[in-house]
Structure formats: structure tokens, C-alpha cells
Structure 1
Amino acid sequence: MKLIKLRLKGFKGIKAGMGLDEIEIDFTQLPEGLTVISAPNGTGKTTILDNMHPYRLLPYRTGNSYRPTAFSYYDHTYGDAEKELIFQLDEVTYRSLLLIDTDRKKSEAYLYNWGYGDPGKWIPEPGIDSKLESYDRAIETVLGSPELFFTSIFRAQNAKQLADYAKGDIKDLFTELLCIDNLKLISEKARRIKQDLSGKVEILMIERKRLQDIIAKEGETRANIDNAIVDISSLSSEITSYEQEIIALQEQINECDVKIHLQRKAREEKDKIEIELREKQTKLDEITKTSDEKADGLHRKYLSVQGKVGTAEALIAGLPLLRSLSSNQVAKQEELETVKLSVTAADDNLITLNASLNEILSLDKQIADKQSQLSTAVQKRRYELDASERDLAEAKKQAEYIKNSGCPVENPSCNLMKAAIAQRDKIPDIECDIDFYSMPARFEIDLQAEIDALKAKQTDPQSIRDKITATTNNKNVLVAKQRMIETEIQDIIKAIESLPLAEQAEKDLPGLKDELTQAEAEWKGYTDSIVAEMEALKGDIEELTIRVIDATDTDPDYQANKQEFVDKQSYYRKEIEEARTRDADLKKSLGAYEETLRQIDKAKEGLGTVTARITYLNDEISQWATLEKAFGNDGIIALEIDDAGPSVSAIANNLLQTFGGRFSVRIDTQSAKADGKGNKEVFDIAVFDNQTNEVKSIKRLSGGEKTWVEDAVTKAICIYNKTASGRQFRTIMTDEKDGALDAEKKKEFFAMKRRVLELGGYNQEFCITQTPELIAMADAVIKLSKETGVEIITQ
């Protein structure tokens, strides 16, 4: 991989560090060798280095995962951001383009090549549709997995140390490093086939269990068939017995029918007598009811007429008194009219007197209102007079001041003198005001004249009030007398209400006495005739009752006996029906049992076939499981990794020679188990120190020692990757790694970088360092600053 151009737009690190919205770096201007990115902290060095690859992530910002799906550009960009990277790999030039809409949280990604199909034109990579997933797949196809890339070709400042990798992660890393991914595909295919065959075996096991369950029912089924045959025979005998019982009961029913016919004839004769008896009794009841009602009606008529006679006689006895009261009513009515006229005259007199009183009281209010207006006007005039007299005294005081001051009066310059002169000049006007306010105003004179005229009209209201009181008292006496007379008239009217009735009763009394005699004769004559008729009917009823008793049937209830026999027949018929239903169910079950026997015979035939098939498939599963394990992480892949360890260690030891050969490394992939029985898989980088003759894990090295040993191993993986993958990686990238080294070791660390370029056949390495001596040792410098932006310096 060789970098050609990088363009960044809308990245926060560049904006904050250099104040630029967009930068572009042309890597073709750089010579081969080591290129240092140099700038003060916070200028954007890491932002540029983190973008010098086409993967959709910033490795310094990803933490422990190098998956693009675990990273978001939106926290590191603003507005409509863009990243364009042009690079070359295996003689093919690629153009990666990321379009990032930070505000809407939308992204698009494209990958083009120059040279396929139509030379001189950017052609989209197959399968690229602006979607992030298709872009990520395309980049991995071209460059490999991001995990291997950022462990070997590109090392971020905070990259995970090799010693911290889990065993599974190391296996995945070395599997890709050794280009044996196809073995994992074979293992995965074997696993899928094994799972598919296992699924088939499960289905066959279910089928075998089903067949075994069917066969297990053979003994029970044969027993059920024998029981069914016995039950069918028993039911047949039961049905025959019930049918014979029904025939015997029918004979008894026929005998009951004959006896029921004879009983019916006797009952018909009795019914006729009972009908006649009921008719006689009904007639007697009707006569009794009707005679009682008519006799009561005639008696009530007699009593009513008798009451009218008594009422008329009582009214006639009071006629003299009623006629006297009627004459007195006319006199009282005339007296009432006279009193009403007197009450009306008193009301008219009160209206006149109250009007006079209101007029007198109105004059008093008018006089009080005008006196209040006059008092207010006088007080206001006196206030103005007092104010003018005070102003005159002040003005005269100022005039005396001018006279005695000795200051020039013409064109005075003193403000105090000017004010005094102005006050003195107002004296004539103030004196005129005093004269004006000393005399009553015209308004005051007119008001006083109006008040005097109103007082002349005033009279004493008490005499009128006395007249009102006397008139009111006289009216009250007249009203009381009026009410008394009205009450007496009402009493007379109420008393003589019965006068017309009494006079009419006097006329009606002779006729009423005749009507009373006739009513008494009708009532007594009807009572005697009806008693004779009722006695004759009672004699007939007594005779018919005796005949009914003689015709009463004392034989048994043959109808009930017959119903009992019919009910027994119904019971036996129901039992026959239920027995035949059970017989049909038993025959149906017998057919089912026989069918089950046939299925059992078939199941016996199928069980052998299924068992043989299960045995065959289990053998197949065992073979595919062997292939799965052989081509999996714990098989050939583990052996390949074991073989690769010495090669990677040899390259790392070659690189460590630049540090004087003090350290050498060995990659351990197995170690003895604690119980001493066999080995277990591990991953550790064992470091041999020539000075102390001690072997220890890289985890136990100091910070500086760990830095160069770790870098030597990762660079060894990088070189091995280039050889094993066949990809022509011409460029490697490293963030700042020399911070923990002393000055001498920094130079040796830089010398190791050149050794890496030499051993791996790389053209360039881009790195970041803050050490001036190392910057001076570089072949070129990419210098960043707010003043000049991006500047390329070759050395």
C-alpha cells in the first residue's frame, strides 16, 4: 500500500489545531524512507495520521475494537465533512471517499479504482452502493481485516498491546496473518453439515420413538379385541331380554283399555247429573245475589226518601229566622258604602298634605346646598387674598434689599440681584390682586340673593305634620269600622245561604211523604216473593246431590295402571337403544383395534429401517465433527500458528539487534499443565535478557523496555504479513511511541524503524515524534502550524 493523496474537510481536530476547514496532503512529494509528522500538541497530528488509511474509523479513538460499526465520525466532525484518500496497492490505484453529514447523522461511502475496465477514469468497485456495509466489505477484501491491519501495518499510540490479547483474538489474528482463513471456512462448512445431519437424526429419533410406542401397544390392543367380542355377545342377550319384557307389558296395557272404557260410560252419566246440579246451584246463587242486591236497592230507596223528608222538615223550621236576617243585610250594605266614602276622602287629604310637606323640605335642601357653595367660594377668595398679601410682603422686602445693597441696578450681573429686581417689579400687579380679592365676587352676591329669596318662602313644617297625623288616625278608625261591617255582612250572607233551600223544601214536603209510603210497600212485597222461589231450588239441589253420590266410581285407577306399564315399556326401549349404541361403539372400537394391529405390523417393518438410518447418520456426524475440529482453531490452525511463531520471533530478534542485542524473544503458544499431564494452549511473548540471563514475560518489562520489544514484535508481524499475504504494503504508520525511552534508546528505536523498512521491503514509514533529534534524523517532515498550514520539508 502506497499513499498518494489525503484530503480532509470538516474535521474538528484540524479546525481546532490549525483553524482550517479543509486540508490536502500530496504524498507524492515525499521521498522514500522515514517521514515525521511534526507540530505542537493539539495542532492535529494524530487526526491526520488516524486518517491515513481507508478503513471507516479513527484507530486512536476506537478503544479496544477496530470494527467500523463500533465507531462514529459524528463526534469528530462538523457540518458536511469529507475524507478522500487515494492510495496504491498491487499496482492498482484506489480512491476512497467518505461523505459525512454531521448534523443529520447520515454518511455515505464509496471506493473507486483507476485502471480496471476504462483507464483514465475512476470506476466504482463492484458491489459499492454508497451503503457503509458494502464499503466496509470492499475495504476488507482489498486490505484484509482491520484487526490485522491495525496490529501490523498501522500502530496507534494507544493500540492494545500484544500481551493483552486473549487467546481467541490471537488465533483469529494469526489465522489471517498466515492466510489460512480457508481452513476456518472448511471447519465452518463441516460444522453446518454436522448440524444438518444432527437435525435429521433428531427427526429420525422422534420417528423411532413413535414406532416403538406403536409396537408397545400390541398386547394391550389384543386384550381390547377379546374384551370387545365378549361385551358384544353380552349386549345381544340383554337386548333380547328387554324385547320379551315389552311384549308382556303390551298384554297388560290391552286389559286396562277395556276397563277404562266401562269406567268412562259410568262417568258420563254422573257428569250429566253433576251438570244439572251445577245449573240449579248457579240459579240459586244468582237469585240469592240478585235478590239481595234488589232488596238492598229498594231498602236504600226507602231510607233515602225518609232522609229527604227529615231534611225538608228541619229547613222549614228555620224559615222565620232566615227571612229576618235577609232584611238586615240591606241596611248593613248601605252603612258600608257611607264608611268607604269617608276613607277615600281621608286618602285624598293625606296626598295633599304630604305634597305640601315635601315642598317645604325641598326648600330647606336648596338653601343648604347654596350656602355650601357660597362658603366654598368665600374660602377660596380668602385663600387667594392671603397668598397675595404674602407675595406683597416678600416683594417689598426685596425692594428694600435693592435699596440698601448698593449694587448697580442697571444691567446687574448678580443672579440674586436679578431675582430681587424681578420680584420688586411685580408689586403693582400684586396690589391689584389684593384689591380684587378684598371685595365679594359677583357669584357670591348672586348666591346670597338666591338664599334670601328661598328663606322668604320658608314656613314651619310641624303644623302640616300634625294635620297628617290627625288625618291618618281618623282614616284608621274608618278602616277598622269598614272591616267590621264587611265581616257582619259576610256572616249574614253565609247564614241565609239555606233560605232558598228552606223555601223549596216547604213546597216539596207533601210529595216526599207520598213517595216514602210507596217505597216502603215495594220493598216489603219483593222480599216475600223471592224467599218462596229460593226454597223450591234448595229442595231440587238436595235431591240431585244424593243421585251424584250414588253414581260415584269406586273401582281402581286403570288409567294410572296403564301409564305405569307404558312407562316401563319406554324404559326398556331406551335401554335397548342405549345397548345398541354401545354395541355399535364396541364394533367401531373393534375395527379400530384391528386397524391398530395392522399399523403395529407396519411399525415393526419400519423400525428396522429407521434404526439403520440413524446408525449411518451418526457415523457421518462423527466424521464431520472430526473434520470440524481438525480444520478449526484447535486443529491445523493451531499447528500452523505454532509453526509461524519461530518465524515471527526470528524477524523480531533481527530487529532487536539494533538495540545492541540485549533482548531476544520467543512466542510461546503452549505450556505444561499444572498437573504435569500434557500441554495447554497459551499466548505469551517470552523475553530473554542477555545481561541478566533471565527469561520473563513481556508483561514484566519496564515501560521503555516493553516499548521497543513490543514494537519489534508488531513490526515482525507486519513484515510476516507482507510476505504471507502477498499484498504489496509499501507504507507503514506509527503514532508516537518513543516517549518512554531515553535519548540514546530513542535513536536506536529510530534505527530499528529503518531496519524494518529494509527487512520488509517497505518504501515509507509515517510516524509522529516530539523529539528534535529524531525529527532531524527523518528523511522528510510534514510540518503543521496555524500560520503555514501543512508544509512538506525534505531533508
Structure 2
Amino acid sequence: MFPLSLRLSGFRGIRDGLGLDVLTLDLERLAGDAQLVALAGANGRGKSTVLDNLHPFLTLPSRAAQAGPGGFSFYDHVVLPENEKDLVWSHDGRRFRSQVVIRCNGRRTTDAFLFEADPQGCWKPVRLPDGTVSDGKTSTYNRCVEHLLGSPETFFTSVFSAQCKRQLSAYPNSEIKRLLADLLGQERLREEGQKAAQVVDQLKVGLVAMRQQRGSQDELLERLRGEHGRLNCASAQVDILAQAKVDAQRAQDSARAHLAQLQAASEQAQGGDAQRAQLDGERVALIRTGREVIEGIKAQIAGQQQRLERLTQRVDLRKAQWATRSQTLAASRRQCEGVLEDEVAVRHAQRRLEAAKAVAGLRAERSLQVRLRVQELHLCTSALESSQQRLAAIEREAGQAALRAEDLARRFGLTREVPCAEMDLQGRCQLLGDARDAEVLMPSAQGTIRKLAKDKKEVQAQIDDQQEQCKRLAGAPQVLMLAERRAVASGDRAIRYGRLAARMGEMSQALDRLADIDRELAGLAGQGVQQDETEDERVERLDIEATVQVLDAQQGQQAQHYRAGLNRLLDALAALPAPFDAQVLADARRQLDAAQFAVAQAEHVYLRAVRDDEAKLALEGQIVERQRDQDALGDRIAGVAEQLGNWNLLVKCLGSDGLIALAIDDAGPALSGLANDLLLASCGPRFTVSLLTQVETRRGDQREGFAIQVHDGDTGVSKPVEQMSGGERVWINECLVRAVALYLAQNDGRCYGTLFCDEADGALDPQRKRSFIAMKREVLRLGGYAREFFVSQTPELTAMADAVIDLDAMVCCRPDIAHA
């Protein structure tokens, strides 16, 4: 598998690292004929994102939780509504194109297409021998890629070293054996084992079903035997129940004759019953009429009472309105009086407002004048300090000039003391030359001293003037504080007077409102005499009371009239003969019904006994038949159990601990030998590895397992790879992984053509890093690989590559990316 070109659109790692939404790499042009191709760039440039996409599988191995496609989602690593991965690659002389479209605009979807180039260079969907065509579904795409390149677990374990990838020593026993089985081409054997396991599952299901059927048959047989035992006495019950049926029929005939006698007596008493019914109807009608008349009178009385209540409510409402208005006006009057309490203060403030504003203005102006004097004091103080600093500088300079003049005088005095004075050597004596130079400089030094003395006098006079001015202005800060306090007090008083004067309109409104309230209260006082009932209301009340008295009298008269009529009807009913007792006739009918039910029940019980006797004979035949079926089912269960044992043995033989384990045992030395060759070629003869497929338990027994044992030639100690240091463990793991790739290429013919490595050298020391490149070249030579793409943060390793793809040169012109 050779990646030829790659186009990534919308991947987060490319946008964050390069500032690009789309990255296109022509790997044929960038790599050329190079064997080792390095992806270079600063941290976060997107090197791992590029390397993770140089294969056709639907995963980014550096971000995935496992080696295969599972445990990974593209949606966490893309940023655009529609993102795309377009990879052109070749395998076995055929040219393919993987196009993956990841959509995140609302509903997340992923479409994956696999195309193959025909002889004319046109892309057509890949078609598998079984008829499967790449139609955009991820499941179909995975089947097509796995048909071409094999399982993703084998690919990523053997030729792809991703960041944070698990080392082979961390694989559990079942997973490493499944991986080795695939490496050794034992997948067909594993598939046969899986088919045998399916047969075992089906046999187990069938055996469970037959055992459940046998249990059901046992329950049915037990139930039939119980039912047969219950029906043992059915023959004897038939005769007993026949006699009971005859007795029930005799009781029915006797009840029917008694009912006929009672019906004849009832017909004779029907004349008196008709007259009694007529009187009862008249009594009911009289009671109904009397109730209706009384209710009508009561309704009229209730209407008059409601009229009286409305009259009372009208009077009460008028009184309540008068009282409420009086209280409202009284409250308003109190409010106006509360406002007028400040009238004197408001009028005083209005008179004094202008004077207060004038005083506040004068005092503010006075404060401003004093503030100017304070500023003048500050300027004078600063000037005095500057003059004093200048005087000190002049004094220092004068002292240095005096020292210099004294030194020049001393040097000039040497002209009279040197031994060569007035001799021929005088012209060449350096000491006399220095003295003559001093003679020339002495007038300048004296002039400097006189000038500094004059400057000091001027500065001292200036300081005296400035000190006198500071004394004259010394009290200005205290005067300013007093002026500012007075200005603030005057301003507060002017503001207070202004607020009070602003309430003058409120006072006028309160006076007007108070006059209106007094007038309205005087009017309400005159209306107070009208709060009792008016003449019309008193006449209405008397009319209502008279009407109620008349209605009460009518109610008493009507009640007495209807009571007398009811008493006459009750006397007539009492004079009639006693009525026929219908309850006796009803009891006779119930007795006849009970006798008929008893006959029917006896008939039913008799027929049931006959059916039970017939059912007992049928049950005996069913019991014999069920017992025969149960024996046949037991023979079938025994046969299936025997077959299940044979198939279980076959599953174990075809499983990871059977023939596959034997094949792994045979391949262990070959893998170890390839790994040791790589270790020897890269870091010398110090380390050798051996793969153990039998591990020792705590009790000293051997069991199926997987362990990597490392022998250190320098120390003579052998120990598991888990006990090695971090860098040594990385080194040995890389040799083992590449040994797997070499084994595939040499024994199985599966050579992917390209290797991938992402920062696997991080834990190695400088010497091991250089040997790491040697190991890579040895793997390429031994396995016949054409190229390896790798990422390393070590500049020396990147420089040792045959070609370098520098992502730093592709950075967008965004400042935050360019300077990262």
C-alpha cells in the first residue's frame, strides 16, 4: 500500500496547526524515490493528523482507543459542516482512491467511497468477487478495504506505530493470540472453529428445547395420572346421582301445586285491591296539589323578603358612601396641613435665596484666589529646591577645580627640583614636560574657580529671594482650607434654600386644595340629616310587611283545608278489607324456582358423572401413549448430548488454545529471530528477545499464555520486558512490531509496501535515536519495503531522512499561527 496524494478538508488538526481549511499533499512529488520520508514541523502543526490519514481505513490511530476501526469518531476531529478526506493510493499494481465525506450540519452522517482506476484512468467503484460494490456505506467500504489490505488490527499492529499506541507486552492473552493467528494465516482455522462453535450453540439450544419438552411431558403425564386417580370412583357415583335426580323432580311437582292454590286466592281478592288503588291515587294527587299551593305561597313570601333586603342594602350603601367620602376628605385635609407646616421655612428661603447665591459666589471666588497663591507657593518651593541642588553642584565642581589647580601648582613646582634642571637633558626629561603642560593649564584652572565663585554668589542671591517669597506665602494652605470650608457651607446653604424655594408652588396648591376640601366638608355636613330612610322608603317597607302577613294567613288556611281532605281519604282506606299478601305468592314462586334449579343441577351433576366415567377410560389410553413418547424423547436427548461433547472437543481443538496455539509455538522462534536481527543491526548484541507461549502459574504448572522475555548480554540477566526501562521497552517493542511486519512479508506474502511511525523515539537517548534510523533502514531492506513515513521531534533524526515534508513552510499568514 503506497499513499500517492492526500487532500484533507475541514480537519481540526490542520486548521489549528496551519490555519488552513484545505491541505493538499502530492506525495509522489514531495517524496520522489526517497525511502525514509520525515514529516517536520513545530508541535501542533498537524503532523500526526497528516500521518493518521495516509491509510484508507476509517480511523485516526493516534486518537483511537484500539487498533481497529472501533472506539473512534471522525466528528470530534472536524470543524466544517461538510469535511472530506481524499486519499489516492496504490496496492499490488492497482490504483485506488478513498473518498470519505463527514457531514456535521445537523444530522451527523459519514459517506465512504472506494474507487479503482481503470486502464483509461477513470475512477469506478470497487467491486468484490462476491458482488459487493462500494456504494457509500461505511460498512461496505470497510469490507472492500479489508478484502484488499487484510484486517485493520494486523495493519496497525505491524506497519503503523501511532502515538500512545499500546505495546505488545500490554496486550491481553486472548487479543495477542487472535492477532498472531491472523499473522500466521490461521484465520480460516479460527473461522472453522467459529462454525463449530455455532453448531455447539445450536446443539445446546436444541438440547435445552428437548429437555424443556421432556419436562413439559413429565408434567403432562403427572397431571394425567392425577386426573385418572381423581376419577376412580366415577362409576359408583352414576347410580347415586340418578336417584338424587328423581327426588328433585318430585319436590318440583309439589312446589308447582302449592303455587297454583295461592294464585287462585289472589284472583278473588283483586276487587278490593282496585278500590284501594283508586283511593291511594286520590290521596297522592291531594298531597301533590297541596304541596304545590303551599310552595307557591312560600315563593311569594321569599320574594317580599328579598325586596325588603334590597331596600335595606340601598339605605346601608348610601350611609357607607357618605362615611367613606367624609374620611377621604379628612385624610386629604390632614395631608394638606402637613404640607403647609413648612410654609414659613419656604417663604424665608425664597426671600434669602438670591443673597445666599451671591455669598456662595464670592466665597468660591475667594477660594480660587487663595488656591492660586498655594500653587504659587508650590512653584516657589520647587524653584528653591532646584536652586539649592544647583548650588550644591557648583560647590562640588568648585572643590574639584580647586583640587585640580593645586595639582597643577604642585606639578609646576617640580621644574625647580628635578636634577636635570638647566642641563642638556632638560629637553628630553618627561617629568619637566609634564610640569610645562601644567604651567599652560594653570590660568584656565584659576579662571574656572573664579567663574564658579561668581555663579555661586548669583545662585545664593536667588535662593535668598526665593526663601523670602516662600516665607511670605507660607500661610496660604491654611487660608485655602478655611476658604474652601466657607465656600462649601455657602454652597450647601444656597442649594438648601433653592430646594425650599422650589416648593412655593406646592404651598399654593396645598392652600387651594385645603379651601376646596373645607367647602366640600361643609356640604357633607348639611347632607348628614338625609342619611336615614326617606318617606318613599318607609312606605315601601310598611307595604312589604303587610303583604308578608297576608301571605302567612293564606298559607295556614290552605294547609288546614288539604289536611281535612287527606283525613277523609285515610278513613275510607281503613274501612276496606285487608289486602291479599303478595309476599306469600312471591315466596311460593321462589320455592318453585329453587325446585326447578335443583332438578337442573341434579341433571347436570348426573351428566358430569357419566362424562367422568367416559373420561377415565380415555385417560388410560393417553397415559400409555405419553409414556411411549417420553421414552423416545429420552433416547434423542442422550444422542444429542453425545454429539455435543464431540463438537465441544472440536471447538477446543480449533480454538486459540488448540491448533492455533501450536502454530503460534512454531512461529515464535521465527518472530524472535527477526526481532533479534533488528536488535543486532541497530544496537549491537546486547539485547536478545524470546517469545514464550507457555507461562508458569504460581503452583509451577504450565498454561497457555504470552510473554516477552529479554536477555541482557551485558549483565547476563533475563527478565520480562515489563521490567525494562521506558526507553528500552520502546526500543524492544519497535523491533518486535517491525519483526511482525517482516514475518508477514517473508512468510505470508502480505507486504504493505509502506511503513508509518509517529514519534516512537520520544523516550530514547541520543545514541538510541541514531540507531533507531539504522533499524528503520534494516527493516526496509529485509522486508522489501519501499518507503517509511515517520514523525520525530529530534532534528538530527529528521535530517537523516531521505526527504523532508516541512509543514512549517505551509503555515497560513495568520499572525497567531505564524509565530506559534
Q: Report the TM-score range of the alignment, normalised by the length of the smaller protein.
A: 0.5 to 0.7
Residue 43 of structure 1 aligns with an amino acid whose one-letter code is R
- Quote the Cα distance in structure 2 between the aligned partners of 1:18 and 1:206: 68
Contact 1:81/1:100 (<8 A) preserved: yes
1:122 aligned residue? 123
Cα deviation 1:81-134 (Å, max 9, x = unaligned): 32221212122211111223354544321111124xx65321111321212222
Residue 607 (structure 2) aligned to one of 584, 599, 605: 584
2 CA distance for matches of 1:776 and 1:711? 21
1:607 to 596, 618, 630: 630
Q: Which residue in the other structure is 1:110 paired with?
A: 113
SS of the counterpart of 2:9?
A: strand
**SS of match in other structure, 2:232:** helix
- Per-residue CA deviations over 1:266-320 (Å, capped at 9, x if unaligned) read x99xx99x9xxx9xxxxxxxxxxxxxxxxxxxxxxxxxxxxxxxxxxxxxxxxxx
Pairwise CA distance, 1:221: 4.3
1:691-712 per-position Cα deviation (integer Å, ceiling 9, x unaligned):
1111111111112211211110
| Pair 570,775 (structure 1): closer, same or farther in 2 beyond 3 Å | closer
Report what 1:91 is aligned to. Answer: 93
Say whether the 8 Å CA contact 1:10–1:78 is kept in structure 2.
yes
Query: Amino acid of the residue matched to residue 142 of structure 1?
Result: L
Query: What letter matches 2:112 in structure 1?
Result: A
Residue equivalent to 1:669 = 693
The structural deviation recorded for 1:781 is 2.0
| CA spacing shift, 1:572–1:107, aligned 2, 3 Å | closer
Partner of 2:84: 82
Give the whole-Å Cα distance in 2 for the aligned partners of 1:38 and 1:131.
35
Tell me what 1:522 maps to.
none
Q: Distance in 1 between matches of 2:104 and 2:585?
A: 104
Aligned 8 A contact 1:252 1:565 in 2 = no
Distance in 1 between residues matched to 2:794 and 2:4, nearest whole Å? 27
Query: 2 CA distance for matches of 1:151 and 1:157?
Result: 12
Structure 2 equivalent of residue 660 of structure 1: 684
Cα distance in 2 for partners of 1:219, 1:751 equals: 87
Taking the TM superposition and a 5 Å limit, the aligned residue runs for 1:205-354 are 205-217=211-223, 220-241=226-247
Query: 1:47 is matched with which residue: 22, 28, 49?
Result: 49
Residues 564 and 783 of structure 1, relative CA distance in 2, 3 Å threshold: closer
Matches for 1:9-24 after TM superposition, within 5 Å: 9-24=9-24
Match of 2:499 in 1: none
Match of 1:140 in 2: 146
Structure 1: which amino acid aligns with 2:727?
G
Mapped to 2, the partners of 1:148 and 1:594 lie a distance apart of: 72
CA contact (8 A) 1:74 1:102 kept: no
Supply the distance in 1 between the matched residues of 2:219 and 2:765 (Cα, whole angstroms).
Answer: 82
Call closer, same or farther: CA 1:696–1:253 in 2, change over 3 Å.
Answer: closer
1:70 match: secondary structure: coil
Write out per-residue CA displacement over residues 517-540 of structure 1, whole angstroms, 9 at most, x where no aligned residue.
xxxxxxxxxxxxxxxxxxxxxxxx
1:25 aligned partner, one-letter code: L
In the aligned structure 2, how far is the partner of 1:776 from the partner of 1:235?
114
Distance 1:41 1:242 in 2: 108
The CA distance in 2 between the partners of 1:732 and 1:260, in whole Å, is 116
Residues of 2 paired with 1:100 and 1:769: CA distance? 29
1:186 to 192, 196, 214: 192
Question: Aligned pair in 2 of structure 1 residues 12, 577: CA closer, same or farther (>3 Å)?
Answer: closer
| TM-score normalised according to structure 2 size | 0.55
So what's the TM-score if we normalise by structure 1?
Answer: 0.57
Which deviations, in whole Å up to 9, do the C-alpha atoms of 1:406-443 show, x marking residues without a partner? Answer: xxxxxxxxxxxxxxxxxxxxxxxxxxxxxxxxxxxxxx
Task: Tell me if 1:777 matches 2:800.
Answer: yes
Contact 1:108/1:132 (<8 A) preserved:
yes
Give the structure 2 partner of residue 706 of structure 1: 729
Q: Deviations over 1:179-236 (max 9, x none)?
A: 2122222222222222222222222223222333343356544443431111111112
> Residues 215 and 697 of structure 1: is their aligned pair in 2 closer, same or farther, counting only changes over 3 Å?
same
> Secondary structure at 1:605's aligned position in 2?
helix
Q: How many angstroms apart in 2 are the aligned matches of 1:787 and 1:577?
A: 105
After superposition, residues 713-732 of structure 1 pair within 5 angstroms as 713-732=736-755
Counterpart of 2:6 in structure 1 is 6
Structure 1 pair 580–755 and aligned structure 2 pair: CA distance change class (3 A): same
Between the aligned partners of 1:667 and 1:197, the Cα distance in structure 2 is: 38
Q: 1:226, 1:757 → 2: CA distance?
A: 93
Residues 155 and 734 of structure 1 are in contact (CA less than 8 Å); yes or no, is this contact kept in structure 2? yes
Distance in 2, matches of 1:560 and 1:742, equals: 118
Q: Is the 8 A contact 2:263 2:585 kept in 1?
A: no
Verify the 8 A CA contact 1:221 1:597 in the aligned structure 2: no
Change (3 A) 1:246 1:181: closer
Partner of 1:67: 69
What's the offset of the Cα at 1:662?
A: 0.3
Q: Distance in 1 between matches of 2:796 and 2:712?
A: 28
CA shift at 1:136, angstroms? Answer: 2.2
Q: CA deviation at 1:135?
A: 1.6
Can you give the 5+ residue segments of structure 2 that lack an aligned partner in the other structure? 128-132, 276-574, 813-820
Q: Is the 8 A contact 1:55 1:68 kept in 2?
A: no
TM-align CA RMSD: 4.0
| 1:614-653 superposed matches below 5 A | 614-653=637-676
Question: CA shift at 1:740, angstroms?
Answer: 2.5
CA distance in 1, matches of 2:72, 2:64: 7
Q: CA offset at residue 571 of structure 1?
A: 6.2
The CA distance in 2 between the partners of 1:623 and 1:58, in whole Å, is 44
Counterparts in 2 of 1:619 and 1:119: CA distance versus 1, 3 Å? farther
Shift of 1:67: 2.0
Question: Which one-letter code corresponds to 1:52 in the other structure?
Answer: L
Any conservation in 2 of the 1:34–1:765 contact (CA below 8 Å)?
yes
Q: Distance in 2 between matches of 1:189 and 1:691?
A: 50
Rounded Cα–Cα distance in structure 2 between residues aligned with 1:226 and 1:122: 87
Decide whether the 8 Å contact of 1:55 with 1:136 is kept in 2: yes
CA contact (8 A) 2:755 2:787 kept: yes
Paired position in structure 1 for 2:158: 152
Shift in CA distance, 690/253, structure 1 to aligned 2, threshold 3 Å: closer
SS at match of 2:237: helix
How far residue 594 of structure 1 moved from its aligned partner, in angstroms, is: 2.4
How many pairs are equivalent?
503
Larger radius of gyration: 1
* Equivalence for 1:527: none
3-state DSSP of counterpart to 1:150 = helix
1-side partners of 2:156 and 2:263: how far apart?
118
Question: What CA distance in whole angstroms lies between the structure 1 residues aligned with 2:56 and 2:210?
Answer: 52
In structure 2, the CA distance between the partners of 1:185 and 1:563, relative to structure 1 (3 Å rule), is closer
Counterpart secondary structure, 2:750: coil
Question: Does the CA-based 8 Å contact 1:157-1:737 persist in structure 2?
Answer: yes
Instruction: Output the CA distance in 2 between the equivalents of 1:4 and 1:560.
Output: 111
| SS of aligned partner of 1:195 | helix
Q: Tell me the secondary structure at the aligned position of residue 778 of structure 2.
A: helix
CA distance in 1: counterparts of 2:213 and 2:83, whole angstroms? 63
Residues 442-474 of structure 1, C-alpha deviations (whole Å, 9 max, x = no match): xxxxxxxxxxxxxxxxxxxxxxxxxxxxxxxxx
Cα shift at 1:155? 0.5
Check if 1:198 corresponds to 2:201: no
Assess if the C-alpha contact under 8 Å between 1:687 and 1:696 holds in 2. yes
User: Alpha carbons of 1:229 and 1:686: their partners in 2 closer, same or farther (altered >3 Å)?
Assistant: same
Structure-2 separation of matches of 1:260 and 1:63: 98
Q: Which amino acid aligns with 2:22?
A: E
Deviation track 1:25-53 (CA, whole Å, cap 9, x = no partner) reads 33334214222222233333222212111
Secondary structure (helix, strand or coil) at the match of 1:128 reads: coil
- State which drifts further: 560-569 or 730-739: 560-569
Q: Distance in 2 between matches of 1:723 and 1:208?
A: 57
How far is 1:736 from its partner?
1.7
